[in-house]
Amino acid sequence: MTVVRASSVQLSPVLYSREGTIEKVIAKIHELRKQGVQFATFPETVVPYYPYFSIVQSGYQILRGREFLKLLDQSVTVPSLATEAIGKACRQAGVVVSIGVNERDGGTLYNTHLLFDADGTLIQRRRKMTPTHYERMIWGQGDGSGLRTVDSKVARIGMF
C-alpha cells in the first residue's frame, strides 16, 4: 500500500485581489512541501474569494452591483498568468494541488476546481455542475466534463 501525505488547507483570501491570494497560495504550497506534503487541496473558490455578498444581496443588487463586477474582474481565466504561477509553484515544490477558483470564461463565472500535477501541469478542470440556491446568481452550470479521474504523481484522483 502506498501512503500519501495529504493536507486540507484552510486559507483566507486577500479580499478583492487575485494576485494577493495567489501569492498566499504559492507560499502555502512551499510551506507544505517543507512539511513533507505530497498532495494539498485548497477551498472552494479561494481565488480570488468566495462571493459572500450573494447571500445578503437581492438578485438585482448582485447583477447590477459593484461586488459582482469586482469578482468578475478578479476571477481566473484558464489558462492565464494566474494558473501558470500556481503550476510553477507545484513544479518547484513537487506537490500535487487541487484548488478552487472563480473561473471566468467569456461573460460567465464558474465555481471551478483545478488539479495541478507535481510537475506543474494542469491535469483536470472541474466546474460545479449545479450551483445551489443563491450561488445560481453568481455561477453558471458546469457540463460534467470534469467528472472523471486522472492519474497524478501521487495517485489517481477525481474531483466532485
**Is the preceding peptide bond at 13 cis, omega within 30 degrees of 0?**
no
Given pLDDT bands bounded at 50, 70 and 90, which one contains residue 59?
confident
Give per-residue pLDDT as tens, 30-44. Answer: 999 999 999 999 999
Say what the pLDDT of residue 52 is: 92
**61 pLDDT exceeds 90?**
no
Residue 54 to residue 59: CA distance in whole angstroms: 8
Rounded Cα distance between 102 and 134, Å, is: 15
Average pLDDT over residues 104-115: 95
> Is 160 a residue whose pLDDT tops 80?
no
Q: Is the pLDDT of residue 65 over 90?
A: no
Residue type present at position 155: A
Question: Are 106 and 44 a contacting pair, CB within 8 Å?
Answer: no
pTM here is: 0.94
63 band by pLDDT with thresholds 50, 70 and 90: confident
65-69, 88-92, 102-106, 115-119, range with the lowest pLDDT: 65-69
135 or 7, greater pLDDT: 7
Give the tens place of pLDDT for each residue, 73-109: 999 999 999 999 999 999 999 999 999 999 999 989 9
